């Protein structure tokens, strides 16, 4: 069963309790930056009085996991996308690829890690809710099964149509995400990119990656073929030259 977090922006009061709970869970210092960084896996960003929580979206088909050469990212069956620093080589393709710009890097460390929210994987495995959800005094973050969260979001939209913009952000974006958003306006007005495709971004590379085995086979065959033909042609030419020379020699000898 896949879990997720529903974030209701209209409920957030900007108390930063989630930031603190998250920092505590990771042993990070508490900062006033309110910006995702290697020491902040969730951030509440103030958009002219609207508080927008940011954290990893835990995509259904995560771009980061598709991009990572060594599979350091993994979509677990419970929903969270988790990261294994012992596999990582630090190429930072995940950061480049993530459509939500989530993974951050420990630039000042000599053994740097990629950092991001892991939906408190250890906690939810043990049957608890994520630290930030537990800390939220306004119930702006709800933890639950993704399907049930979608139902809940629909219910809220239907019951208060004047409060909500009728769109559940994360239902389809980038192929769907486990973290869902509700707000009173389109998320694009709250710092999310407007041109996100509704398909997983890995689709764009898959199209070309799937051609590779065929290319190796046919390319190899073709190259050997060309090599064989040009070699034959050369041999034939050489033999022809040989014949011609013999003829000429014969003529010369006859002429003598």
Partner 1 sequence: MKIKIPKLTFWSSVFWIIVALGIYSTILRFTKGLGAVTNLSDEFPWGLWIGFDVLCGVGLAAGGFVIAAAVYIFNLEEYKSILPSAILTAFLGYLLVIIALLFDLGKPWNIWHPIIMWNPESVMFEVAWCVMLYTTVLALEFSPFIFQKFKLEKPQKIIKSLTIPLVVAGVILSTLHQSSLGSLYLIVPEKLYPIWYSSNLPYLFFLSAVAVGPAMVTIESYLSSRAFKREIEIHILSKLAKVTAVALMVYLVLKIQDIIKYNLFSYIFTLNYEAIMFWIEFAFGVILPIILLANSRIRSSKKGLFIAQLITVLGFILNRLNVSITALENYTQANYFPKWTEITVTLFMVALGFALFRFIAKHLPIFPPEVSEKRKLLTEGFEVISIKEVFKEQT
Chain residues that interact with ligand SF4, rule: CB under 6 A: 21-22, 25, 41-42, 55-59, 62-64, 67-70, 72-73, 81, 88-94, 98, 100, 102-103, 114, 116-120, 130-132
Q: Where does this chain touch partner 1 (CB under 8 A) — which range of 10-18, 136-144, 154-162, 206-214?
A: 206-214
Phi-psi group of 160: left, alpha or beta (phi > 0 → left; psi -120 to 50 → alpha; rest → beta): beta
Q: Which of 24, 90, 139, 161 binds partner 1 (CB under 8 A)?
A: 90
Query: Do residues 136 and 17 touch, judged by C-beta distance below 8 A?
Result: yes
Report the partner that residue 62 touches, choosing among partner 1, ligand SF4, none (CB closer than 5 to 8 A by kind): ligand SF4
Residue 246, CB-side half-sphere exposure with 13 Å CA sphere: 6
What is the C-alpha to C-alpha distance for residues 88 and 83, in angstroms, rounded to an integer?
9
Report the partner that residue 236 touches, choosing among ligand SF4, partner 1, none (CB closer than 5 to 8 A by kind): none
Measured from the CB of residue 205, what is the shortest distance to ligand SF4 in angstroms?
13
Report the partner that residue 64 touches, choosing among ligand SF4, partner 1, none (CB closer than 5 to 8 A by kind): ligand SF4
Report the partner that residue 40 touches, choosing among ligand SF4, partner 1, none (CB closer than 5 to 8 A by kind): none
Measured from the CB of residue 234, what is the shortest distance to partner 1 in angstroms?
6
Q: Where does this chain touch partner 1 (CB under 8 A) — which range of 49-57, 64-72, 122-130, 134-142?
A: 64-72
Quick check: helix, strand or coil at residue 22? helix
Interaction of residue 33 with partner 1, rule CB under 8 A: no
Q: What is the dihedral of CA 61, 62, 67, 69, to 10 degrees?
A: -90
Close Cβ partners of 116 (under 8 Å, ≥ 6 residues apart): 41, 55, 56, 83, 102, 103, 104
Report the partner that residue 165 touches, choosing among ligand SF4, partner 1, none (CB closer than 5 to 8 A by kind): none
What is the C-alpha to C-alpha distance for residues 182 and 161, in angstroms, rounded to an integer?
12
Report the partner that residue 246 touches, choosing among ligand SF4, partner 1, none (CB closer than 5 to 8 A by kind): partner 1
Q: Which of 198, 215, 250, 251 binds partner 1 (CB under 8 A)?
A: 215
Q: What is the dihedral of CA 122, 100, 114, 204, to 10 degrees?
A: 110
* 66 vs 153 by CB, closer to ligand SF4: 66
Q: Which two tokens stand for residue 168?
A: 């559940």
What is the C-alpha to C-alpha distance for residues 111 and 70, in angstroms, rounded to an integer?
17
Interaction of residue 107 with partner 1, rule CB under 8 A: yes
Strands (E), the chain: 3-8, 43-47, 50-54, 73-75, 81-83, 104-105, 114-115, 141-145, 179-182
Contact footprint for partner 1 (CB under 8 A): 36-38, 63, 65-71, 87-93, 95-97, 99, 101, 104-105, 107-112, 193, 195-197, 201-202, 204-209, 212, 215-216, 219-220, 223-224, 226-227, 230-231, 233-234, 238-239, 241-242, 244-246
């Amino acid at each position: 069963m896949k879990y997720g977090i529903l974030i209701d922006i209209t409920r957030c009061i900007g108390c930063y309790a989630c930031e603190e709970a998250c920092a505590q869970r990771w042993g990070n210092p508490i900062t006033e930056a309110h910006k995702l960084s290697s020491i902040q896996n969730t951030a509440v960003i103030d958009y002219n009085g609207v508080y927008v929580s940011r954290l990893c979206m835990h995509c259904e088909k995560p771009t980061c996991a598709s991009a990572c050469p060594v599979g350091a990212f993994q979509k677990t069956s419970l929903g969270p996308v988790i990261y294994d620093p012992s596999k990582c080589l630090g190429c930072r393709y995940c950061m480049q690829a993530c459509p939500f710009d989530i993974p951050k890097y420990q630039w000042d460390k000599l053994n740097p890690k990629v950092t991001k929210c892991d939906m408190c994987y250890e906690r939810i495995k043990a049957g608890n809710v994520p630290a930030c959800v537990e800390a939220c005094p306004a119930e702006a973050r709800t933890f639950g099964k993704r399907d049930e969260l979608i139902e809940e979001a629909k219910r809220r939209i239907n019951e208060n149509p004047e409060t909500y913009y009728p769109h559940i952000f994360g239902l389809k974006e980038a192929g769907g995400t486990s973290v869902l958003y509700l707000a009173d306006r389109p998320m694009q007005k709250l710092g999310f990119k407007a041109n996100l495709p509704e398909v997983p971004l890995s689709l764009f590379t898959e199209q070309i990656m799937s051609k590779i085995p065929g290319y190796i086979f046919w390319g190899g065959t073709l190259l050997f073929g060309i090599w064989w033909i040009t070699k034959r042609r050369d041999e034939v030419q050489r033999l022809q030259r040989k014949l011609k020379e013999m003829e000429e020699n014969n003529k010369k000898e006859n002429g003598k």
